[in-house]
Amino acid sequence: AELRNIAILGSTGSIGKQTLEVIESNPGLFRACVLTAQSNADLLIQQALKFNPDYVVIADDTRYQEVKSGLSETDITVLSGADAIAEVVTNNSIDIVLTALVGFSGLKPTVAAIKAGKDIALANKETLVVAGDLITSLASKYRVKILPVDSEHSAIFQCLVGEEQNTIEKIYLTASGGPFRGRDSYFLKTVTRLQALKHPNWVMGAKITIDSASLMNKGLEVIEAKWLFNLDVSQIDVIVHPQSIIHSIVQFEDGSMKAQMGLPDMKLPIQYALTYPQRIKTQFQRFNFLDYPQLTFERPDADTFRNLAIAFEALRTGGNMPCIINAANEIAVAEFLNDRIGFLEMSELIEVCMAKVSYVANPSLSDYFETDRLTRVIASEFVTSSF
């Protein structure tokens, strides 16, 4: 196989670091040609010294000198600023752009990468939540692949190899249920950030860990699945499966169901996105049935965990509504992590924004930027005035 050059956006994060582990384990197959971070200069420098990319970008301008001098003995080009991320992804040497930054910040570089004809290994689900219609039509226009990294979507993607899209009856996204599965509103009212940051099965960045506890992560994944697999809302179902062994399921029109299983380890979906359509041999730990004599399933509690219902509603409404709930949720999570609002108030804040931010039925890229901006203003004002 020929060497694949990977640009990793968000290389200092949970997915970014695991992507570098995959690259390190397969030296002849991949090369990291771009690494980017928000502000973690130390780790970015360490990674760059080890992987020798062509470019590194630090989004936070105030850290530029630090990174520049840390890499002064190398011929690595150092850039800074959010715009530099969207510029560097167009570079000729890149084959695949792996988007592992958090939230709305992924939208601009992803659009730029698609327009430059780069395949996208997509971890940054928020980009598809915000602008799924625009991203998928751009991807088909520029003939680039959007390869899912999210474990549930990778599972579905793997189940669909060799199948026709129009034979899908429905899909089931599995959810662990998070640390508060089975809890009621009375309990959730007083949970702390430390309780919410403890995920039972996965170690991930802070934002997605809170999203998992509130079921917003599954809500965002429903929207992500709609766009990745071109489905109707009615074809997407969520089932709680606390062991996180079955990563998701496709049900076909003849009634057959295919599931993809394995121990929870993001390195597998990351690697599959990078080697697709091939598989490669790994030493990843194998699943043993007898370690899990029981795989269980239950209905998600969307009355208590309102974010799941909110996401379905936003998807049915369409237009800029998913963009509104994404921005409101980003503020809600940040405010919860700062101990400024309670766990259940996150859903309240999102619902306020859904009611207050003006609806746009057919948003352009600039409408999405405006919706995102406006929603953050309204959400922040509401936190200050009401909580």
Binding-site residue positions: 12-15, 40, 124-126, 150-152, 176, 199, 205, 212, 217-218, 221
Angle at CA of residue 100, ends 117 and 32, nearest 5°: 65
Q: What is the radius of gyration, based on Cα positions, of the chain?
A: 20
By the rule CB under 6 A, 204 interacts with ligand NDP: yes
**Measured distance CA(69)–CA(88) in Å, rounded:** 20
Give Cβ neighbours of residue 340 (< 8 Å, ≥ 6 apart).
Answer: 383, 387
Q: How far is CA 153 from CA 30, 91, 96, 147, 156, in A?
A: 23, 28, 18, 9, 5
Summarize the annotated binding site for Mn(2+) as residue ranges: 150, 152, 221
Q: Report the interface residues with Mg ion, using CB under 5 A.
A: 150-152
Two tokens at 266? 């993001």
CB of 106: closest distance to ligand NDP in angstroms? Answer: 7
Question: Is residue 120 close enough to count as binding ligand NDP by CB under 6 A?
Answer: no
Where are the extended beta strands (E) located within the chain?
4-9, 30-37, 55-58, 77-80, 96-99, 119-122, 146-148, 168-175, 236-240, 246-252, 257-261
Which of ligand NDP, Mg ion, none does 37 bind, CB closer than 5 to 8 A by kind? ligand NDP
54 touches ligand NDP (CB under 6 A): no
Distance in Å, CB of 173 to ligand NDP, minimum: 12
CA distances from 108 to 86, 211, 381 (A): 6, 22, 26
Among 125, 218, 241, 376, interactor with ligand NDP by CB under 6 A: 125
Which of ligand NDP, Mg ion, none sits in contact with 330, Cβ below 5 to 8 A by type?
Answer: none
Tell me the C-alpha distance between 274 and 97, whole Å: 10
Told to check if 81 binds ligand NDP by CB under 6 A, we report no
Segment interacting with ligand NDP, rule: CB under 6 A, options 110-118, 200-208, 270-278, 355-363: 200-208
- The residue with its CB nearest to ligand NDP is 13
* Nearest C-alpha neighbor of 223 from the set 210, 233, 209: 233
Question: Binding segment for ligand NDP among 90-98, 123-131, 239-247, 308-316 (CB under 6 A)?
Answer: 123-131
Among 19, 38, 154, 251, binds ligand NDP (CB under 6 A): 38
Binding track over 234-273 against ligand NDP, x by CB under 6 A: --------------------------------x-------
Let me know how long the chain is.
387
Contact flag: residue 205 with ligand NDP (CB under 6 A) = yes
Phi, psi for 277 (deg, rounded to 5): -85, 5
Beta strands of 55-135 (E only): which ranges?
A: 55-58, 77-80, 96-99, 119-122
DSSP 298: B
Minimum distance of Mg ion from residue 124's CB (angstroms) = 12
Task: Give the separation between CA 387 and CA 384, rounded to whole angstroms.
Answer: 6
Least CB distance to ligand NDP at residue 41 (A): 8
Q: Which residues of 265-276 are buried (b: 16+ CB within 10 A; e: fewer)?
A: bbebbbbbbbbb
Q: What is the size of the binding site for ligand NDP (CB under 6 A)? A: 27
Q: What is the smallest separation between the CB atom of 242 and Mg ion, expressed in angstroms? A: 15
Which of 176, 251 has the CB closer to ligand NDP? Answer: 176
Q: Rounded to the nearest whole angstrom, what is the least distance from the CB of residue 381 to ligand NDP in the complex?
A: 21
Q: Is 223 in the site for ligand NDP (CB under 6 A)?
A: no
**Residue 234 CB: number of other CB atoms within 10 A?**
8
Could you say which of ligand NDP, Mg ion, none residue 15 binds, taking C-beta under 5 to 8 angstroms by partner kind? ligand NDP
Binding residues for NADPH: 12-15, 40, 124, 126, 205
Smallest separation (angstroms) from ligand NDP to the CB of 13: 2
Which of 76, 102, 175, 225 contacts ligand NDP by CB under 6 A?
102
Beginning with the edge strand found earlier in the chain, give each strand of the sheet holding 4-9 in spatial order: 77-80, 55-58, 30-37, 4-9, 96-99, 119-122, 146-148
Q: Which residue stretch of 8-16, 134-142, 224-232, 277-285 sits at the interface with ligand NDP (rule: CB under 6 A)?
A: 8-16
End-to-end CA distance of the chain: 56
Chain residues in the site for ligand NDP (CB under 6 A): 10-16, 37-40, 59, 82, 100-102, 105, 123-126, 150, 202, 204-205, 208, 266
